[in-house]
Amino acid sequence: MKPVSITKALADEPRLREAAKEEVVGRLLDYAKEIEGLYRNASTHAAGVVIGDRPLDQLVPLYRDPRSDMPATQFNMKWVEAAGLVKFDFLGLKTLTVIQNAMDLLALRGISFDINLIPLDDQPAYDLYATAKTVAVFQVESSGMMDALRRMKPTCIEDIVALVALYRPGPMENIPAYCEVKNGLRDLESIHSTIDHILAETQGIIVYQEQVMQIAQVMAGYSLGGADLLRRAMGKKNPEEMARERPKFIEGAKKTHNIDAAKAGEVFDLLEKFANYGFNKSHAAAYAVVSYQTAYLKANYPAEFMAAVMNCDLHLTDKLAIYKREVDKLGLKTVAPCINASLATFTVRDGALVYGLGALKNVGVDAMQLIVNARRAPRDVTPTKAAGPEEGYEDRPFATLFDFARRVDLKRIGKRPLEMLARAGAFDQLDPNRARVFEALDALVAYSAAIHEAKASAQVSLFGASGTDIPEPRLPFRDDWLPVERLGQEHLAIGFYLSGHPLDDYMSALRRQKVETLAEVTARAERGPLIAKLAGSVSSRQERKSARGNRFAFVQLSDPTGLYEVTCFSEVLEASRDHLDPGCNVVLTVKAELEGETLKLLAQTIQPIDAAVSQAGAQSLRIHLARAEAIPSLAALLGKVEGRARADVTLCVIDAQGREVDITLPNPFPVTPQIKGAIKAIKGVLAVEDI
């Protein structure tokens, strides 16, 4: 909203004029008029660089921001051109880094090519565009772009160029017409036979500024310079220049092609309309080519491409969660964070995405590189010059937690990053009991510090080389985290669930309650709106207030098949707010409807998941045991739980002859999804199944 000027305010408001009669107020308004409209601070263009034929201080006044070493012109971008300088906008594009990173990852498995020489008719790339599987593809990631791609079904690079130019306020209204003409649903409308060939590639629609210039040149005999002046006049809506150009255009059309004044005026009006928001084709083409390069990489080398994308957003957890879902949709396997398998960043091994240690929360890439460096050992054979530096090293995996502490200076890593590694399961190869590793970190850090201090002292003890005689600390003895807690700790470190989901243990009970997954509801919604029951783990809640003052909320949840958002209006929100904190597991009755490709969900009822599954009744369980030693731990667990819903429990053990023997316990026990998860975590339990 444009602010009211002081002069207008004085003219419109009698009380202000009355106040201005006072000396102090009047003087204040006089001073304010003098500075009104001036910039209050100096700002610097994000990408603008000016070039002159002599030192800039001979052409324009300069200014130096105290926070920057680079001088800036005191003239703005319009005045510097009038002063004789040439202005360029040099934009830094993260996507170029993504492409280079993908190429580097491909080179590690012997695939090398020039991304600028890839064929522009790659069918997998256009199939990816046509099906709108464009998460992480440059310029076409938004839901609106995806919808436009599905309608357009691009078949050539010109279609991508046109879409980049059209997908902006104003020209967007022409996207449906472009798509319909392209796919034969509407006839191409002729403007005039002399210029139809100019608009053929854009389905008869004026899309580019270059087309405006070419039409003026072909139809009205303009020179290239004159056509550019016409384009500028139209784009700036300069009425005086337009008044001079209209008769010139009409006269030129009459002289060049004997076109009558009415038709020439009609074309001029059309040019004027489109020139106002016509896009520069060379600009659109450059963006489209970069978009196509990312689509080509994703369609043909999805693992390397997604690893490169995730490397560029290494510390943006929300984006990593989106990309991880896309990795799953692409059918790619993910290797969990592991100090013996992962590098500091995302990599690819045998077609699988290897999670980067540096992508964990509160973990720095440099600190994780210390671990990777400690894991590497020089090869026996000196690498050849052509082999490259990486060929001179091989991975020497850590054997134990103590081996890890001896080879890595854990003080340089820091306790918080080590905690995140333990929570994420990065030490599972060394000790699968994450809770014990987590509690042992203080002892391991102290042990590591003693080892490295002894090495640094350059002293040798009576018993051996520096540090080798320091006794290993005793690790604490404790049970591992229960599966739900284990997932919660993993979520704290990674930002989303990687190895499982909190609802996994509830799925059989939810099935009996006819609760569906997100994927199932989405598939059914394609046939029309429906009422369904969904389960979800709450990740966040944003409350808003409507124009009438009623509160409503957008709640983000997840289930084992994906993330989704539910809208809760005031009645449901008030009744269920206590169940909608992050980490809560709930069952919702929702109205589901597809709008385009987006599933819209409106909550009707919400209840805690434990209350919902308790209504399903308890089922009988069969517990498969690897050895009898697990029975005391199982008895201790079942003996201390309470609950109304009880189930028969059968133990399946292997006798001396190798046969399975079922032993049904005489009394039923309380069994909940959490108890099932706890039973699975007992050492010696092979499996837990419903009967």
182-199: per-residue pLDDT in tens? 999 999 889 899 999 999
- Reply yes or no on whether the pLDDT at 370 is more than 80: yes
- Per the prediction, the chain carries an average pLDDT of 88
Residue 381 pLDDT grade (very low, low, confident, very high; cuts 50, 70, 90): very low
pLDDT score, position 387: 39
Which residues are bridge partners to 352 per DSSP? 349
Chain centroid to Cα 500, Å, comes to: 20
The answer to whether the beta carbons of residues 509 and 587 sit under 8 Å apart is no
Highest mean pLDDT among 114-128, 248-262, 601-615: 114-128
Go through 209-235 and write b for each residue having 16 or more CB atoms within 10 A of its CB, e for each that does not: bbbbbbbbbbbbbbeeebbbbbbebbe
pLDDT score, position 136: 95
What is the rounded distance in angstroms from the CA atom of residue 95 to the CA atom of residue 687?
46
Percent of the chain with pLDDT over 70: 93
DSSP class of 666? S
Helices (H) and strands (E) in the chain, counts: 28, 20
The answer to whether the beta carbons of residues 582 and 539 sit under 8 Å apart is yes
Structure tokens that stand for 62 in this block: 């300069």
Residue 389 pLDDT grade (very low, low, confident, very high; cuts 50, 70, 90): very low
pLDDT tens digits, 568-583 = 999 999 999 999 998 8
What residue ranges of the chain are covered by domains with CATH 2.40.50.140? Answer: 504-614
What is the rounded distance in angstroms from the CA atom of residue 185 to the CA atom of residue 172?
18
What is the rounded distance in angstroms from the CA atom of residue 405 to the CA atom of residue 364?
18
Residue 105 pLDDT grade (very low, low, confident, very high; cuts 50, 70, 90): very high
Structure tokens that stand for 162 in this block: 């046109």
What is the rounded distance in angstroms from the CA atom of residue 522 to the CA atom of residue 594?
8
Mean pLDDT, range 555-567, rounded to an integer: 92
pLDDT score, position 1: 57
The answer to whether the beta carbons of residues 337 and 371 sit under 8 Å apart is no
pLDDT score, position 388: 40
How far, in Å, are 43, 319, 539 from residue 40 at the CA level? 10, 37, 42
Q: Which of these CATH numbers, 1.50.10.10, 2.40.50.140, 3.40.390.10, 2.60.40.3880, describes 504-614? A: 2.40.50.140
DSSP class of 477? P
Residue 115 three-state SS: helix
Among 145-154, 416-425, 610-619, 659-668, the least confident range? 610-619
Burial of 357 (0-12, 13-18, 19+ CB in 10 A): buried
